[in-house]
Each structure stands twice: as C-alpha cells, then as structure tokens.
A = this chain, B = another copy of it.
C-alpha cells in the first residue's frame, strides 16, 4: 500500500541479499522508471549522481540492470520476474557449491564428544522449524507434539507429520485452543489430537516480554525439544535433549504421564 514504506523495505531486503546501499537504491529507483539517466536516478534515489555509474555497473554485472551505451547513457531494470529469478539462481548455486564443499570436508577429526547428559539450545524460527521436521522424520515409534501458536503449523511440518504417520508411527498432537485443534485435524487427519490442560503453556496477558510456549516435541520418549517465543521480539528459542536417560527427557516423560496428554486416548 504505502509506496514509500515498500521502497525502504525493498532497499533493506536487497542489502540483505548482498547489494550495497547505493546499488539497492538504484535498483528500486530503476524499478519505478521505465528507463532513466544518471541524473534522473540520482534525483529520485538520493544517490550522488557521480556514484550512480558505479552502482549501475555492478548491477549490470549481476544481471539486474541493462545499460544503453548512448550519451547520456540510459539504464533500466530487468523485469521483476527476471530479477527474482536471477537472485534465486545465484543463491541456489552458492548453496549447492557449499553443500559439495562441506561434503568433501566432513571427514571429522578428534571426536570431542561427551556422551553424557546433554541439553542443547538453538534459536531462530527457521532453524528450529527444520530441526523439528527432521526429528519427526526420524521417529520410529511415537511422536508427541504440542503446538502453541498457529503460525508454527507450517506446510512443511504437516508434510513431515503425514509422512511419518503413514509409516505406522503413533502421532499425538496437542493444541492450546480449539480452533487450533481444528486446523490440525484438517491438515493432519490421521493424528490423535487433544487440548492441553497445562495452563502455564498459555501466553498470559500479552505483556511486554512475556514468554509464550512455542512447541513441545517428544520423539520416541527419548528426545525432546521445547521452544518458547518472547512476545516482544518474536524470536523463538528452543532447548533440545536426547537420550532416554537425559534429565530433560525424564522430566518431559513425567510431565506427560501427569496430565499433559489426557490418558492417551483421542477426543475429550
């Protein structure tokens, strides 16, 4: 809606995608013009005129802008589809090369691992999401999952759940609210669902930096992941433990036995 806001956002995103500020400004500037000269661009983007040339040159070498070598020379941005496709290609190529490089390396050295009680923490919505999916896919016996916020019920997650349930794994999913439970039953029809009775899971009054429950995942009764979301920063943080004897896991099992999952049977 608000163009100015979107412009700023686009500039920021382009910088996150690796462009410098001037390059980003020039690109969105050109995106709003069918075509423009250095002067036009400079006026519209606040980029010093003499620096427009450098910026555009970089953009051209990345396939985001085309240049007409006349005098004065004119610039124009490639179409939105071409631009995003180019960016995607670029990134995909890098990630693939990274995969290969790390693959040929992975030859680990000294095993610096202590096979005792371990509790790891990780944060970032994305990373936690991926870890969740992976853990679910590795389950052989039982998956217990409690979801605290509907935004966490992604399609990828549903895919993982449906895949594992089709392999004969028992799937028990809890929700904090009834509407959420309905959503779950729609996306993962084969799961046994329930509404958790643990009040402390609910995000109280949404005060400042109140901490709400994110997910709670128990795999084969021996691996657990619990995450929370601070309502202010919306950053998700998780702790994660594995091993049947792991303290965290033991607590989780006890918790479960007590009433998190009401008697293990569906409905009510």
Chain A residues close to B by CB (< 8 Å): 1, 3, 6-7, 9-10, 13-14, 16-18, 28, 31-37, 40, 60-69, 74, 76, 78-95, 97-99, 101-114, 118-131, 134, 235, 240
Contact = CB atoms under 8 A, between A and B. Distances in A.
Contact of A6 (B34, B89, B105): B105
Given A33-B110, A101-B6, A105-B3, A63 B120 contact: no
A61 B124 contact: yes
Given A84-B98, A134-B82, A104 B6 contact: yes
A122 B65 contact: yes
B31 A102 contact: yes
Contacts of A127: 62-64, 78, 82, 86
B112 A31 contact: no
Nearest to A103: B80
Contacts of A118: 68
Given A76-B120, A127-B63, A9 B101 contact: yes
Nearest to A14: B98
A132 B120 CA distance: 49
A130 B17 CA distance: 19
Nearest to A12: B101
